[in-house]
A = this chain, B = another copy of it.
C-alpha cells in the first residue's frame, strides 16, 4: 500500500466525460489498496475566462479580487470530481484551500505556500476517504483567498504530497511525460524516462509548461518523487529524480521556449551608481518579476537598460516606470511583446564546454538575431523575435543531437 497524491490538470478535467475518466483512474488506485488524495485544476479554459473578465474590467485590477474570482475554477472541479467519485462508490469530499487550510503568504495573485495542515486529511485518508483538493489556492494572513500563480496546482500537489508524507506525487497532464522539446514544434522530440530536479527546474522556469517552477523547487527541497504522466494513456511517464539516479547523462536534456515575456527598454538613463536599483526596486515592490536584464555600455553619460517581464505584468511595469520617471530621469522607454525566449538546458553543461557557442552559431546560421542573453550553470537562454521561435527550437534540437532516431 502506498500513499499517493494524484494531480489532474485543466485538460484532464476539461469536461464531464474527462472528469469521469479521472474518477475511474482514481478508483483504480484506491482499488489497488492505496491511500489517494487528489488535487485538481480548473476545467480547461475556465481560468482564462475568469482572468479575461478581471483584465477587461480593469487592467490594474486588485489582486485580492482577482484571487477571489479566479480560485472558483478549481473549487468547481473539486466538487464535480467528488460527485463523480461518489457515483462510482468511492467515498470522497472536496476541500477548498481555506478549508484545509493551505496557509500562504499575502502576495495575492502569486502567493507562496507557508504550510499545509495535513492532520485532518491524513485522518480522512486512513478512513478510506479520498480528499479532492482544489489546487492553485490557499488562504492569506488577511483571511482572504490567495492564488499561487498560473500552474500553481502543481505546487499545491507537491506541497500536499510533502504534508501528507506521500510516497509519490503523480502529475497527470495532457502530455505523457517530459520531452526534449515541445513535440508540437519538433515531431522528433523524445520522451525522457528520467530528468533531474535541476533540469526540470530550468525547463519549467524557461517555459516548458509541463510543471510550474515552484512545484519543482518544492519537490527538490522536500524530496518529493514526482511523476509526470498522461491522463489519456497508460504509457509510463517521466520521473523527476535526483541527479545520482540517472546513469547516462546527456549534455543537453532539452530545449525550451517561452512567449510569455515582454521586453522593456529604458533609454538614456543617467549612468551613475544606484540607477539600476532606482529602476528595479520599484518594480520589485510592485511585485513584478524581472527576468533577463542587460545594460548597454555608457555613451554621453547615459546608458540603455533592457529587461523582460511577464506579459501579464507589462501594464503594471509601464505604470510603475511612469511613476518613477522623475526619480530616474530617463528619456523614454519602449516595450516589445513580440519576443520569445529560447533556452538550452542540461546538467551535463557543467562538465562540457561549448554548449553556448553551439547555440549562438546555430542561430546565426539561420539568420536569427539574438537580442538578450542570460545564462546559469546548466542553462543558456536567448531572447529573439517571436516569429523565429519554431525555427530556432528545431535547429537547436538537431544541433544537440536530440532528434529521435
Q: Which residues of A come within 8 Å of B, CB atoms?
A: 16, 19-20, 50, 53-54, 56-58, 61-62, 64-69, 72-73, 75-76, 78-80, 82-84, 86-87, 93-94, 96, 98-99, 143-145
Contact = CB atoms under 8 A, between A and B. Distances in A.
10 contacts: A53-B76, A53-B80, A54-B79, A57-B87, A58-B86, A61-B86, A65-B79, A66-B79, A68-B96, A99-B143
A146 B72 CA distance: 15
A50 B76 contact: yes
Contacts of A67: 79
A99 B144 CA distance: 8
A43 to B, nearest CB: 9
Q: Which 3 A-B pairs have the closest CB atoms?
A: A69-B79, A72-B72, A58-B87
Contact of A56 (B16, B65, B86): B16
Given A65-B79, A68-B78, A94-B68, A84 B58 contact: yes
Contacts of A76: 50, 53, 69, 72
A389 B2 CA distance: 60
* Interface SS of A by simple majority: helix
Contacts of A145: 96
Contact of A83 (B20, B54, B96): B54
A8 to B, nearest CB: 15
Given A69-B80, A72-B73, 18 more contacts: A16-B57, A54-B80, A54-B83, A57-B84, A57-B87, A65-B80, A65-B82, A65-B93, A65-B94, A68-B75, A68-B79, A68-B94, A69-B76, A72-B72, A72-B75, A72-B76, A98-B98, A99-B143
A72 B53 CA distance: 15
B94 A82 contact: no
Contacts of A56: 16
Nearest to A16: B56
Nearest to A134: B68
Nearest to A69: B79
> In this complex, which of A67, A76, A84 has the most chain B Cβ atoms within 10 angstroms of its Cβ?
A76
Given A16-B53, A68-B94, A87-B57, A62 B82 contact: yes
A4 to B, nearest CB: 22
B62 A86 contact: yes
A76 B69 CA distance: 4
Contacts of A53: 16, 76, 80
Contacts of A93: 64-65
A106 to B, nearest CB: 14
B99 A83 contact: no
Contacts of A84: 57-58
